[in-house]
Structure 1
Amino acid sequence: MLLRGTGVGRGIAIGPVVRMPDPLSEPDEKRRTTDADSEYSRARAALTTVAADLADRAALAGGEAEGVIHAQAMMTQDPALLDDVRSRIEAGSTAERAVFEAFHSVRQLLLSMGGSPADRAVDVADVSQRVIAQLRGVAPPGVPNVDHPFVLLASDLAPSDAAMLDIGQVLGLITLGGGPTSHTAILARSKGIVAVVGVADAAGIDDGATVLLDAGDGTVTVAPTPEEIAASRERLLARRVAVPVGPGTLADGTGIELLANIGSPDEAEAALRQGAEGIGLFRTEFLFFGARTAPTVAEQQAVYRRLFAACEGKRVVVRTLDAGSDKPLAFLGTGVEENPALGVRGIRALRAHESVLRDQLTALAAADAETDADVWVMAPMVADADETGYFVALARSLGIRVAGVMAEVPSCALMAGQVLGIADFVSIGTNDLTQYTLAADRRLAAVAGYSDPWHPAVLRLVKMLGDAGTQSGRPVGVCGEAAADPMLAVVLVGLGISSLSMAPSALDAVRTQLRQHTLEHARALAVSALGASTAADARARVSEQS
């Protein structure tokens, strides 16, 4: 039986399926038999324990996962939620029931809002399960602990589970929901785990059944024959033409810089060892998540100095704080928004709280002056030339030498000529660009099929930016997950992209694929993809001509 989804990476995996366990049962509605204070103390202790466990998981996970899991930990200490738990206990509920109902209320609110908030309902449910498990004295549901390698099958994974997957045991991952830019897919790619996501028909796969995952083809074969396994391995070998670690180049010698996306300074050295020519996206959110006040200039400067020192002589592209939407921060005070994905986020949030931005730029400039890295700084979610001009002028006034913007919303691409007349560079965040172009939340399973950067509408916006970069003589790169797809990386180069930044684990595959094509051929593939009507059509056209 052959099932189709969206592959993450280019590898294959073969092994027995182990299904994620069912969630804990809903607590009974029986009334408590202890006094309210004692019962509330139990609830607070469980919440505190879970918060500490999640904080430990965040630190171990690192990267983008760290901020997401930290946000989960913060839920357990939310004053409004604690008040809700207490009031339910005082009304007669047990600690388990009060916690369940309080978190369920938050989850239903998020689901009713749709978009990015709805996707956070998975995170809320995960925290609720962990607290209830702590109260019951049992292990929380999570990735099963088995004594043999396996392929994990799940509806979807909470960030705390996805980030902690043991690559020594988990051969591959199948999820019923999610798309190529979901948190699960991003974390699987960063850990080098073969995954096929969005396999809606996988629910019928029996526990223990042998499956063959081919991420390059985005397929799951149940009970594969020896011939099917052999054919899949041949395809894998064809994708792995050996290319030594070194600068990214096309077959005709055209240079394409291959950079790494990282979320903390500790990841920089490992990325460079894996062949990154520099850092194309340094996410600074980990400095701000969990904080009641913004970090000081001195605190930030110390972190940035450590990163820049590790990247001496190499480019480091830093994204200023990207907050708002699904990443709220208390000290920014954006308040409750009916549709936060279209609200005060990115550069809008920073502009509304300019002191936070000024401190960050001041710290970056000071750290740059102390080291020899080639530091570039960019603002997130920039919509047009006005926001570009605001950021670039402020950055330069505070000592930033190279100031650019991220193109994540269609308007930035439509105004590419004006934007690149001001900014020193543009980096395209294809994850958000895709979701805003297709009006499909990249983390919402119900619309996962739309969240595909191969869609010709997205590629046309990339071409607008690439053309504007060529005309202005200023670099345009891609730092979204699209850069980690080897064949799509070739198409992006054909659209005028000069650098690609990705999870370090994807560097070898992308470097190898680029070496198989000339610039002329990359441009021909791009033209073919632009003429397609759907993402699947674009992918098929390019595959046929490769």
Structure 2
Amino acid sequence: MLRLSGVGVSGGQAAGPVVRVAEPLPEPPSTPAVQDHDAEAARIGPAAEAVATGLFTRASGVEGDAKAVLETTAAMAMDPSLSSRAEQLVRQRSLPAPRAVLEAAEEFAESLRATGGYLAERVRDIHDVRDRIIAELLGVLPPGVPTLTEPSVLLARDLAPADTADLDPDLVLALVTEEGGPTSHTAILARSLGIPAVVAVRGLLAETTAVAAEVDGDSGDVALSTEPIEVRSPERASGADWTGTGGTSDGHRVKILANVGAAADATTAVSRGAEGVGLFRTEFCYLAASDEPDVATQRAAYAEVLRPFAGRPVVVRTLDAGADKPLGFLNTAEEPNPALGVRGLRIAFDNPGVLDRQLEAIAAAADDSGAEVSVMAPMVATAEEAGWFTERARAVGIGRAGVMVEVPAAALAARELVEAVDFVSIGTNDLAQYVFAADRQLGALAELNDPWQPALLRLIELIGRAGTDTGRPVGVCGEAAADPLLARVLVGLGVSSLSMVATAVPAVGGALAASTHQQCARAAEAALAAPNPGRARAATREALE
């Protein structure tokens, strides 16, 4: 067997025959030059519409995260700016339609790469839409996951969101990719489906003779075999111990919450038994807007998301935008390093009215919905910034205000920070990225962004201790909270609430209910003392056993 290693992003072990996901189509040629420009350009719109229709049809057959991913990809296919630019290239340069789509999509992708952060994560989506439209124009099947006839391990360079959204967990034993990272769509959806997954496995696709594989989503180990091996399906956490009230078996209370970004997410979260919402992303109200939405528009949009949680806690994050998520009405300047630029709360220092109007809308939506609403600000670096935000929230009648801890400076000044607010919530994805100076979208740096990195856990311990000493709640709303094993370590580090993708709620809640608080504390000590993520996982399992 050929043994490889990567970053385990969804726990469990499985084995079985491999199925390779088709590579992207070869680049369509730029010749021969098109003679009838109008006729060739006219092919692009219907092809994009056909792709969108197919994705919407797939979305109608699924729910929750899968539905949202497919609908988002379909909306990108329908974006008139992509089709219009491709049509323009046909007319200006006499390019065949497939080549024009390729070049137009690359222009969009390059602009997203340049801005970094959230929008850089959408480059994979652009490429997926591009490949689907080109395949439609060429009259061939699009690249992606083939139809599975038996339980199999999927091997791929990377997987687009639409590839993973409606996978059948009864047929997909495990996912293994050569690229990707712990916060990729592959990782998030694999965890939500309970499918073991390993990403950033270098050399995976170079081995073309393998017919079977063994996958360990906990350790990140992958063994490729040239001989058939016995199929082993993963044991999936059932969440049978989840009662709807989070806590350890000896009564230590821990809230189990969901991350949401739209009304459909909120409905799914309620159906999965989430006690509330630990992260409500409000960017959906802004990203498609050329002008700032007025207070009434925001109020109605927020209330729709909040209503399913009437009488329950919801933490609303204020606008997380700026240089890396450019919004036209903000008039932010171009920056040489957007990830370290004016983003999150920082945009409000020069545009306080934008924040104040959003806070006003959130307060009104809370009254409309009956939800117990708190607010928190993203990208806070100092206690002074935290206090400034808290004062503005209080001014519009919001009684509970907190901040995200995503910047190492905030973690290192945790005591001062928690004393300036009512609670804090740790964004493990960004905190890891900044701690290790490692872009979380680069597969080559995926191991550094592993949430099991002991250095990251030690920062979380600082924050947890500050919260315990001051009586302030400390939450985690990064993807780390969705790992049932790591969730128990986080509780042992002093975390009092965990917020995650809704489909992970029963498994995390059940795992926590099966452990004592003392076991969680022992697991945390073991993970902190480990030299690397793999040893941290192993030490945690030993401590819990």
TM-score with structure 1 length normalisation? 0.87
What does 1:218-233 align with in structure 2 at a 5 Å threshold?
218-222=220-224
* Aligned position for 2:9: 8
How far the C-alpha of 1:478 sits from its partner, in A, is 0.6
Cα separation, 1, equivalents of 2:485 and 2:380: 28
Matched residue, 1:30: 31
Superposition map of 1:314-325 within 5 A: 314-324=312-322
Q: Is 2:386 the partner of 1:385?
A: no
Q: CA deviation at 1:87?
A: 4.9
Q: Give the C-alpha shift of residue 430 in structure 1.
A: 0.5
Whether 1:39 and 2:37 are equivalent positions in the alignment is: no
1:467-482 equivalences in 2 (<5 Å): 467-482=465-480
Correspondence for 2:485: 487
Does 441-450 or 521-530 show the bigger shift? 521-530
Write the mapping of 1:101-120 to structure 2, written as runs, cut at 5 A: 101-107=103-109, 120=122
User: Matched residues in 2 for 1:376 and 1:115: separation?
Assistant: 25
**Number of residue equivalences:** 542
In structure 1, the residue matched to 2:431 is 433
Alignment correspondent of 1:513: 511
Greater mean alpha carbon deviation, residues 372-381 or residues 352-361? 352-361
Say which SS state the counterpart of residue 186 (structure 2) adopts. Answer: helix
Asked whether the 8 Å contact 1:212–1:224 carries over to 2, the reply is no
Alignment of 1:335-350 (within 5 A): 335-350=333-348
> Is 1:281 matched with 2:286?
no
Q: What is the identity, as a one-letter code, of the residue corresponding to 2:433?
A: Q
- Inter-partner Cα distance in structure 2 for 1:44 and 1:521: 58
**1:252 aligns to 2:250 (yes or no):** yes
Match of 2:180 among 168, 178, 181: 178
- After TM superposition, the structure 1 stretch with the greater mean CA deviation from structure 2, 312-321 or 195-204, is 195-204
* Alpha-carbon contact 1:469-1:496 (below 8 Å) kept: yes
Q: Single out whichever of 112-121 and 412-421 deviates more from structure 2.
A: 112-121
The CA deviation at 1:265 is: 2.3
1:66-465 superposed matches below 5 A: 66=68, 70=72, 73=75, 77=79, 82=84, 86-87=88-89, 89-107=91-109, 120-167=122-169, 169-204=171-206, 209-222=211-224, 236=235, 243-324=241-322, 327-465=325-463
Is the contact made by 1:454 and 1:539 (CA closer than 8 Å) also made in structure 2?
A: yes
Structure 1, residues 433-464: CA drift from partner, whole Å, max 9, x if none? 11110111112112111111222221121122
Code of the aligned partner of 1:405: V
Q: How far off is 1:386 after superposition?
A: 2.7
Maintained 8 Å contact 1:467/1:496: yes
The percentage of aligned residue pairs carrying the same residue is 48
Give the aligned residue type for 2:40.
Answer: E
Cα distance between partner residues in 1 of 2:522 and 2:89: 65
Tell me how far apart the structure 2 counterparts of residues 424 and 96 of structure 1 sit (CA, whole Å): 54
3-state SS of 1:200 partner: coil
The secondary structure found in structure 2 opposite 1:377 is strand
- Distance of 2:351 and 2:209 partners within structure 1: 52
The aligned counterpart of 2:20 is 19
Q: In 1, are the aligned partners of 2:90 and 2:100 still within 8 Å (CA)? A: yes
SS, match of residue 128 in structure 2: helix
Task: Compute the TM-score of the two structures, normalised by the length of structure 2.
Answer: 0.87
CA separation of 1:291/1:46 partners in 2, compared to 1, >3 Å: closer, same or farther?
farther
**Structure 2: distance between partners of 1:94 and 1:179:** 35
Paired residues of 1:89 and 1:98 also in contact (CA < 8 A): no
Distance 1:334 1:49 in 2: 36
In structure 2, the CA distance between the partners of 1:273 and 1:430, relative to structure 1 (3 Å rule), is same
1:142 is aligned with what amino acid? G
1:63–1:262 contact (8 Å) kept in structure 2? no
Q: Is the 8 A contact 2:526 2:536 kept in 1?
A: yes
For 1:303 and 1:116, the matched residues in 2 are separated by: 21
CA distance in 1: counterparts of 2:524 and 2:43, whole angstroms: 60
Taking a change above 3 Å as real, the CA distance of residues 170 and 543 of structure 1, as seen in their structure-2 partners, is closer
CA displacement 1:384-414 (0-9 Å, x = unmatched): 1232122211111122121111111111112
Distance 1:21 1:301, change over 3 A: same
How far apart, in 1, do the equivalents of 2:408 and 2:71 lie? 29
8 Å contact from structure 1 (residues 274, 504) kept in 2: yes
**Could you tell me which amino acid in structure 1 is paired with residue 36 of structure 2?**
D
Aligned mates of 1:297, 1:164 — CA distance in 2: 36
Contact 1:118 1:444 in 2 (8 A): no
Q: State the Cα deviation string for residues 155-181 of structure 1 (Å, max 9, x = none).
A: 112233333434454343221122222
Q: Is the Cα contact below 8 Å between 1:351 and 1:357 reproduced in 2?
A: no
Contact 1:64-1:262 at 8 Å conserved across structures? no
Structure 1 241/476 Cα, relative in aligned 2: closer, same or farther at 3 Å? closer
- The answer for unaligned runs of 5 or more in structure 2 is none
User: 1:337, CA displacement in angstroms?
Assistant: 3.3
Could you tell me how far 1:427 is from its partner in structure 2?
0.6
Measured at CA, do residues 202 and 327 of structure 1 come closer, stay the same or move farther in structure 2, by a change above 3 Å? same
Residues 274, 131 of structure 1: alpha-carbon distance in 2 compared, 3 angstrom cutoff = closer
User: What SS is found at the alignment partner of 1:291?
Assistant: coil
1: CA distance between counterparts of 2:491 and 2:484? 11
Gaps of 5+ in 1: none
- Cα-to-partner distance string for 1:445-496 (whole Å, 9 max, x where unaligned): 1211111122222112112211221222111111111112222222211211
Deviation at 1:70, TM superposition (A): 4.3
Task: Give the AA of the match of 2:8.
Answer: G
More deviation, 403-412/102-111: 102-111
Q: Cα gap change, 1:293/1:193 in structure 2, threshold over 3 Å: closer, same or farther?
A: farther
Hey, what's the Cα distance between the residues in 1 that align with 2:274 and 2:420?
28
Do the aligned partners of residues 65 and 473 (structure 1) sit closer, same or farther apart at CA in structure 2, a change above 3 Å counting? farther
**Residue type of the alignment partner of 2:287:** F
The residue type paired with residue 189 of structure 1 is R
Q: How far did 1:113 drift?
A: 7.8
Residues of 1 paired with 2:324 and 2:124: CA distance? 12
What is the one-letter code of the residue matched to 2:246? G
- What is the identity, as a one-letter code, of the residue corresponding to 1:273? S
CA distance 1:306–1:108, change in 2 (3 Å): closer
